[in-house]
Amino acid sequence: MTSYPSHYINGQWVKAQSAETLPVHDSSTEEIMATVPAGTALEAESAVLAARAAFEGWSGLSVEARAAYLDKVAAGLKARTDELALAIAREVGMPLKIARAVQVGGPTWHWGNFAKVARNFEWEKKVGNSLVVREAIGVVGCITPWNFPLSQITLKVAPALAAGCTVVLKPSEIAPINAMILAEVIHEAGLPPGVFNLVNGMGPVVGEVLATHPEVDMVSFTGSTRAGKRVSELASQSVKRVALELGGKSASVILDDADFEAAVKGTVSACMLNSGQTCSAHTRMLVPASRYDQVRTLAQAAVAKLNVGPSLEEGSRLGPLVSANQRERVLGFIRTGIEEGADVIAGGAEPPALAKGYFVQPTILGIKATDTLAQEEIFGPVLVVIPYKDEEDAVAIANSTIYGLGGGVWSGSDEHAMKVARRLRTGQVDINGGPFNGSAPFGGYKQSGNGRENGVYGFEEFLEFKSMQLKPAAA
C-alpha cells in the first residue's frame, strides 16, 4: 500500500495538516491500495491564495511559453503511461489494455492538443472602432470525478492553464492516485509556483471552499446532477462562472432501415464501456416494436462476448465497478427494473462467479418508456431496451428525460440518421457508430450541464471578452 502524506500547494509538496486519510480501494480485489490526505478548508484556501498570487505572472507570459509548458506535461505523461494505466485500472476497474489507450492515451493527446489550440487561437480582433481581446478568467477551481479521472482533470486543467488561468484541483477521493502522478509530472515540467495546486479531500469540505471562495473566479465541475446543483447554488453567491458536465441517459435510436446487427452490437459497446460508468453511455436502446424479438436475440449475442474479470487479468473486457457503494446502487436499480416487470434479456442482480471485486453482471432489460430505469441514470453495466411505435414516438421517447448529453442514431443512410439526430435535444449524437472526436465540443443540454469541453470550445470556457473602444482616426 502506498501512502501519500501531502498536498501540492504553491509549487511544493506540503504535508497535510490533518492526520485523517482517505482509503483508495483496488476495485478488483477490494483491498486498500493507497491512502491520500483528507484536506481541510484551510488547506484549500491556502491553495486558492497561492493560485491568486501566481495569476498575474502566469497570465502575463507569452502564449508560446505557456504552450511549451503544456508540451512538457504531455511528454511527462507519455513517459509514465504504464504507471498511470496500472493505477487507473486498479482504482476505477477498467481493464488495463483499454485503460492504457482510453484513460491515459486520450489525456496525453489532449495536453498536446490544447497547446496547439492556444498557439492557433485568435486572441484579439478589430471590430469597428473596438479592439476585442480575449483574456484569462482568473483562478479556476476544478472538481473532478472518478470514472475517467485523468481525462476529466485534463479537460479542465490543460485548457485553463493554456488560457492563462491558474488552477486549484480537487480530484475524486475515490480515484486520486492518477492526479498525484500528474502533479509530479507538472512539478517536473517546472511550472511556476502557484500556477497548479492540488488538494485532496471531500466535496463538502474542499469542494465547497472552491465553490464559495471570493478569490476563485470560475468553478468547473464534472459529476452528478445533484452535486452540480449544489456547486451552482454556492457559486452563485459570488457570481462565479460555472461550467458543469453532469449526468446522462443517452438514447441509441435504431431506425427501421438500420443494419440491426451492427446497431445492436454498437449500442451494447457504447453502453458497457468502463462497465457503464460513463456519463454519455448509450444506456437506452430504442427499437421498433415489430423488431423487438430480433433485437433481443442480437443483444444476447453481443453481451455474451463481454468477458467479466479483474482489471489486470488478460482477456477481461468488462471490469468491476469502482466501489461497494456503486455496486449496491446499480444492483438496486436492476432489482427495481425486475420488480416493475422488466424482461430480463441478459444478466440480472445475481453476482458473477468471482470471489472478490465490485462486480455486476452486464445486464440488458426490456422495459417501457415510463419505467424508472428509462429515466434514472444507473451508472453501471445496464442497458434498457425500449420499443417504439414510429419515428415520432422514438424522438419523443429519446427527448423524454431531464438529461441531454449523448446519443446515437442508426439508419440505412447517414442522411436519414442526421434528420432524426437534429431533433434530439442532446449535446452529441453518433451517426451510425461514428467515433468520438476529441476536438468536437462535448457537453449537454437540459440538466446534463452548462458549457463545453474539448478543443477550442473547451478552451474558450476559460476566457473573458474585453472590448477596448478606440478613438477613430481623424479624417
Catalytic residues: 245, 279
For cell 432501415, what's the residue?
257
Residues with Cβ < 8 Å from 27, sequence gap 6 or more? 90, 91, 92, 93, 311, 319, 320, 321, 322, 323, 357, 358
Rounded (10°) CA dihedral 159, 407, 336, 376: 50
For cell 442532446, what's the residue?
426
Rounded (10°) CA dihedral 39, 43, 49, 55: -40
Pairing of strands 130-136, 124-127: antiparallel
Alpha-carbon distance of 152 to 159, in angstroms, equals 12
DSSP class per residue in 227-256: HHHHHHHHHHTTT-EEEEE----EEEEE-T
- The beta-strand segments (E) located in 296-447 are 343-346, 363-366, 382-388, 407-410, 430-431
CA-wise closest residue to 366 among 259, 448, 264, 266: 264
Distances in Å between the Cα of 36 and the Cα atoms of 7, 25, 50, 61 are 9, 11, 21, 33
Contact 335, 349 (CB under 8 A): yes
CA-wise closest residue to 59 among 259, 195, 158: 195
Contact 43, 230 (CB under 8 A): no
Alpha-carbon distance of 245 to 405, in angstroms, equals 9
Question: Dmax over Cα atoms in the chain, in whole Å?
Answer: 85
Q: Which three three-digit cell numbers place residue 75?
A: 511528454
